Chain A
Amino acid sequence: MKPVTESKLFVEPRNYRARRMVDGLRVLPLAGIFLIAMPLFWGGAEDSIKSSAVMLFLFGVWIFLILLNFFMTRRIGKERDWLDPINSETSVD
């Protein structure tokens, strides 16, 4: 199963890019949690925040996360077979 290659210090650039995309994907939900919780900490002097503003913000965040995910997943899609440890050296990064 393992491709017969001599052990390399670095992976190829495009593979490298895919791996960074995976890193990004991992952070994405964390960023999402942070952004979704953010309106809870909003507060103005008049002490009332408009629902419409929060709604626009949340949907904006939502769309933003979806788009980010879309682009990162597409980058990974082409390389996905090489991201499993069974297919490549885990130590190489």
Chain B
Amino acid sequence: MLNVLIGVCLAYVIALFAVAFWAERASMQGRANWLRSPMIYTLSLSIYCTGWTFYGAVGYAARSGLEFVTIYLGPSLVMLGWWWILRKLVRIGRAQRVTSIADLISSRFGKSNGLGVLVTILAIVGTTPYIALQLQSVTLSFGAFANSETLSANTAAFWLGAGLALFTILFGTRNLDVNERHHGVVMAIAVEAVVKLCALVAVGVFVVWGVLGGIGPVLNEIDTSKVATWDVNGNRWIALTFLSGAAFLCLPRMFQVLVVENADEGHLHTASWAFPAYLMLMSLFVIPIAVAGLKILPSGSNPDLFVLSLPLSLDQDALAMFAFIGGFSSATSMVIVASLALATMVSNHIVMPIWIKWSEHRVREFGDVRRIILISRRVAILLIILLGYIYYWISGGGAALAAIGLVSFAGVTQVLPAMLGGIFWRGANRIGATAGLLAGFAIWLYTLFLPSLGNVYSANFLAEGPWGIWWLRPQALFGVTQLDPLVHALFWSMSLNALAFLIGSLLSFPTPIERLQGAQIVNVYDHSSTQRGWSGRAAQSEDLMIMAQRILGVKQARALFQAEVQNQGGQGYLPDPTPEFLRTLERELAGSVGAATAHAMIGQTVGGTSVSVQDLMAVADEAAQIMEYSNRLEEQSRELTRTAQELQSANEKLTQISLQKDAFLSQVSHELRTPMTSILSFAQILRDGASLKGQEQSRYASIIHDESLRLTRLLDDLLDLSVLENGQVNLNIATGRVQDLIDRSIATVVVGDTAMQMQIECDIPDDLHRLTTDLDRLGQVFINLISNAKKYCDVASPRLKISAYQSGSDVIIDFVDNGIGIPAQDRDFIFEKFVRVGEQKTGGAGLGLAICKEIISRLGGQISYLSENRGAAFRVQVPINFHST
């Protein structure tokens, strides 16, 4: 028998694998339209009915009559009232691309990762016992078949867990979908939903018509059974209805199928009546089966297994096998979806933030993130199922475990205030949500979870409270003793949770992101639409093509799309927008516009999802980076332009200097040649002309002498300049008055020139500070400037004005004449060596000003040409006290 059972199980599992695989393939090839039908959606919701409800509902009914039905009525009411909550949740899920309930809470409250982690932990703590419960239900049902045969319950549970983990990893983490939809998994659980409903209904029909003999007799049997009277506890009745309805919204696996896997809001319309009908059918035969079990089976048999033991005891082995498969289906589909939903939460809210922080300074390659997510999800699935197995193993699978279903419900329900507050109340904020979750979680742990474990509290502790504080008794908080423990825990945890949430939200101030997200989520109907922007697949590809062309350029976009068409083995020029292709395209676009922008653009085109605040902020961030980069580039380019201009002007200057040098060299050779020629010729005359008179001889000799002097002077100048330039000059520092120096310089220039017409006027204050510098050298500069003025100022009545004044620690002496000045184009060069301005009638080597400039710069000052004057004007500025540098 056992071998047959295992064989059937294996065959069933293989069939499920095949269904999931086939659905995945169909969706990859774009033939998945009917996979996204409303009926599949409705059937996928049936993971609410787990192995615990499949077997346990009958047991529950056998023990306490109709109370079991609250577990199904709550979700029915939520579905019937879909317009209130579910419609909004589904719309938000689509608009914000919500991936889990933790993601919803975290993104509503400003992408608070702390909240994400909190909800994830809450979900794991609440779900682990529930997974253990599923393992227990399957092993128990194995046991019902294999009464005599030896099969360790632990071994069975272990292999079951391993198989489920394998299935979930295979189909739940095959690839990453932005919308976290898993066609294979959804299809498989839809098939399981049909199997378990048919199984239960088959057993029910068999019991009602085959065993008890019709509807009338069944009602009679009920009236004579031990659950004949309706004596439910009103508190429990209401509380359980509320609890199951709330858990229906908050359970991670329910959120996964209700919101995350929802492909079209219209599916809710069908599910809103079809799912309550499913639940109604699931519970329709529960009481008859329970009553029949109580009547037929020997007293003491486990009512949790009536569904199996009834057909077995009546030798309906095939029906029993079917029922077993039904229970197996319920358990497996729950474990698969729950572990998948939890793994998504763990990888998104715990592993990824840690990894991103850890790898902040490392180079990340493309695909790294994807790999990490997939690995972390696979590991998380394994760990979660392992955790469930360990829980099952430690708790021993006894009665304590059976009670844990509702305890688990109450745990995950703690998310309800934050979730409903978050989607309906804009004033809700992160502080409030955190406070509420922590308060609710703590009270749930204290009043319900820990007591449910059996012997965590001593009897004394329960009766007297911790340290004898009576109002802290775990099951009678604040003296409330009249409530059933479950109702008591639910009452206190929910009310204090809501209170903390309210007070925290009222007293604290949300961050800007929270406020934006709050407005986006609460007013989701204002920003989103049910209308799908992109209907056909071709239209999608075409839009992608247009977008890609705009960003990548026509040629590159065409090449990319063409390559993909060939890759897909298709025809035409537009490929199917497969996830792989979208990823490739996103990567290509990211190279041009940044990752966040590319993601938002593709999401907008393909998913019809609205762009979230996070997306916008990421886009803005990228834009800012790009702008900064382009600013830097612009700055660099400006700098380059400036440098180029400077280089050009330097080059021009160099060219001119070189030209002038050439001109000067010819000038110098000319200058040297002229006296040389006369010296040579007169020396020749003297040598050959013995007949010359003494007077003539003396005249020629004096010419030779004068010319030699001129040569010597020229050579002296060159030498002087060379000495100054090489810095070998010795300065002779002395102190004297400027007035005296000027007077001496004028006298030097004027002496021996009786014909000089130029008037020189001096404007030097008497109290001008005495100069301490090389007075001889400074005098040389003055002489040069004055004689220049004398030489070049060729107006009718030339006049030179010399003025001196003090400016800071410097003395400034200006030499301004009333001549025509120096032409603008020559002003840049007058201080260069060998420069002479214009065609000059007066001879000169063009070294005077160059020497002046060298001297003044040796003295720590500067000489400049004042261009604003009409005539030639030079300014000499020297420090009052010379400091050798």
Residues of A whose CB lies within 8 Å of any CB of B are: 1, 22, 25-26, 28-30, 32-33, 36-37, 39-40, 42, 48-56, 58-59, 62-63, 65-67, 69-70, 73-74, 76-77, 80-81, 84-87
Shortest beta-carbon distance, A47 to chain B, in Å?
9
B residues in contact with A51, CB < 8 Å: 65-66, 222-223, 227-230, 287
Partner of B77, one of A22, A25, A36, A63: A36
Contact between B230 and A33 (Cβ–Cβ < 8 Å)?
no
Among A39, A51, A84, A85, the most chain B Cβ lie within 10 Å of the Cβ of A51
Q: Among A53, A55, A66, A76, which residue has its beta carbon within 8 angstroms of that of B276?
A: A66
In the complex, what residues of B have CB within 8 A of residue A50's CB? 222-223, 228-230
The A-contacting residues of B in range 68-98, CB under 8 angstroms, are: 69, 73, 76-78, 80-84
| Residue numbers in A under 8 Å from B344 (CB-CB) | none
Query: Which residue of chain B has the shortest Cβ distance to A54 in the bound complex?
Result: B230
How far is B241's CA from A59's CA once the two chains are assembled, in angstroms? 15
The closest CB in chain A to the CB of B531 belongs to: A81
Q: Which residue of B lies closest to A48 (CB)?
A: B229
Q: Is the CB of B273 within 8 A of A70?
A: yes
State whether A80 and B269 are in contact (beta carbons under 8 Å apart), knowing that A25-B83, A48-B231, A63-B280 are contacts in the complex: yes
Question: Could you tell me the distance between the alpha carbons of A68 and B807 in the complex, rounded to whole angstroms?
Answer: 102
Most-contacted residue by chain B among A53, A55, A70, A86 (CB, 10 A): A55
Contact A29 B229 (CB under 8 A): no
Look across to chain B and name the residue whose beta carbon is closest to the beta carbon of A53: B230
**What 5 A-B pairs come out closest when comparing CB atoms?**
A29-B81, A70-B273, A49-B230, A52-B222, A69-B273
Separation of A37 and B74 alpha carbons in the complex (Å) = 12
Set A59, A73, A86: member contacting B273, Cβ < 8 A: A73
Q: Which residues of chain A come closer than 8 Å to B232, judged between CB atoms?
A: 40
Query: What residues of B have a CB within 8 angstroms of the CB of A26 in the complex?
Result: 81, 83-84
Residue of A37, A65, A66 touching B237 (CB-CB under 8 A): A37
CB distance A52 to B223 under 8 Å? Answer: yes
Could you say which of B26-34, B140-148, B521-529 contacts chain A? B521-529
Residues of B within 8 A of A81 (CB): 529-531
Bound: A69/B270 CA distance, A = 10
Q: Which residue of A lies closest to B280 (CB)?
A: A62
B525 and A86 contacting across the interface, CB-CB below 8 Å: yes
Q: Mark B228-248, 1 if CB is under 8 A from A, else 0.
A: 111110100110010000000
Interface string of B262-297 (1 = CB under 8 A from A): 000110011011001100100010010000000000
Most buried by A among B234, B237, B272, B526: B272
Contacts of B287 in A (CB 8 A): 51, 55
- Chain B contact residue count (CB 8 A cutoff): 43
- Asked if residues A1 and B272 are in contact (CB atoms below 8 Å), the reply is no
A26–B229 Cα distance when bound, in Å, is 34
Closest beta carbon of chain B to A58's beta carbon, Å = 6
- State whether the Cβ of B219 lies closer than 8 Å to any Cβ in chain A: yes
Whether B80 and A28, one on each chain, are in contact in the complex, defined by CB atoms closer than 8 angstroms, is: yes
Q: Is B66's CB under 8 angstroms from A33's CB? A: no
Most B-side CB within 10 Å, residue of A26, A28, A65, A66 = A66
A37 to B80, CA, bound (A): 16
Complex CA–CA separation, A29 to B282 (angstroms): 20
**B525/A28 in contact, CB under 8 A:** no
Q: Does B80 lie within 8 Å of A32, measured CB to CB?
A: yes
Interface secondary structure of A, over-half rule: helix
Beyond the given pairs A32-B80, A51-B228, A66-B80, 9 more chain A to chain B contacts, judged by CB atoms under 8 angstroms and listed by A's residue number, are: A28-B80, A48-B231, A52-B219, A65-B76, A70-B273, A74-B269, A81-B530, A85-B526, A86-B526
Q: Which residues of A contact B530 (CB under 8 A)?
A: 80-81, 84
CB distance from A89 to the nearest CB of B (A): 12
Which of B69, B231, B272, B531 is close to A58, meaning CB atoms less than 8 Å apart?
Answer: B69
- The complex places the Cα of A92 from the Cα of B731 at a distance, in Å, of 100
Write out the residue numbers on chain B whose beta carbons fall within 8 Å of the beta carbon of A52.
219, 222-223, 228
Inter-chain contact B231/A55, CB cutoff 8 Å = no
Question: What is the bound-complex CA distance between A22 and B81, given in angstroms?
Answer: 10
- In the bound complex, what is the Cα–Cα distance between A85 and B230 (angstroms)? 47
Chain B residues with CB under 8 Å of A30's CB are 81
- Bound-state Cα–Cα, A29 to B77, Å: 5
Of listed B81, B222, B527, B531, residue having the most chain A CB within 10 A: B81
* Cα of A80 to Cα of B227 in the assembled complex, Å: 46
Query: In the assembly, what is the distance between CA of A33 and CA of B221, in Å?
Result: 29
Nearest chain A CB to B806's CB is how many angstroms away?
79
**Min distance, Cβ B458 to any Cβ of chain A, angstroms:** 36
Known A-B contacts A36-B241, A62-B276; the reply to A85 vs B81 at CB < 8 A is no
- Given the complex, which residues of A lie within 8 Å of B277, measured CB to CB? 66
Cβ of B227 and Cβ of A84 under 8 Å apart?
A: no
Query: 6 A–B contact pairs at CB < 8 A?
Result: A33-B77, A40-B234, A48-B230, A51-B223, A51-B230, A86-B526
CA distance A40 to B238 in the complex (A): 9
A43, B80: Cα distance in complex, Å: 28
CB–CB A55/B83 < 8 A? no
Contacting residues, chain A, for B65 (C-beta < 8 A) = 51
Q: Within 8 Å CB of B529, what residues of A? A: 1, 81, 84, 86-87
Contact: A55 with B80, CB < 8 Å?
no
Q: A33's closest neighbor in chain B, by CB?
A: B77
Chain B 490-529 interface 0/1 with A at a Cβ cutoff of 8 Å (1 = within): 0000000000000000000000000000000000011111
Question: Cβ of B527: which chain A residues have Cβ within 8 Å of it?
Answer: 86
A66 proximity list for chain B (CB < 8 A): 76, 80, 273, 276-277, 280
A84 and B230 contact, CB distance less than 8 A: no
* A80 B266 Cβ-Cβ under 8 A: yes
Q: Is the CB of A29 within 8 A of B84?
A: yes
- Residues of the B chain whose Cβ atoms lie less than 8 Å from the Cβ of A65: 76, 80, 276
Q: Which residues of B contact A22 (CB under 8 A)?
A: 83
Q: How far is the CA of A62 from the CA of B73 in the complex (A)?
A: 8
* Closest chain A CB from B49 CB (angstroms): 15
Across-interface contacts of A42 in B (CB, < 8 A) = 230
Nearest chain B CB to A90 CB, angstrom units: 9
Contacts of A54 in B (CB 8 A): 66, 230
* In the complex, residue of chain B having the shortest beta-carbon distance to the beta carbon of A49: B230
For B35-61 the 0/1 string (1 means CB < 8 A from A) is: 000000000000000000000000000
A59 touches B73 (CB 8 A): no
Complex: A81 Cα to B528 Cα, angstroms: 11
Do A86 and B276 contact each other (CB < 8 Å), given the known contacts A22-B83, A65-B80? no
Q: A66-B273, A66-B280, A86-B529 are in contact. Are A32 and B229 (CB under 8 A)?
A: no
Q: Is the CB of A55 within 8 A of B66?
A: yes
Bound together, the chains give a CA A73 to CA B79 distance in angstroms of: 12
Q: Does the CB pair A59–B66 fall under 8 Å?
A: no
CB proximity of A51 to chain B, nearest CB, Å: 5
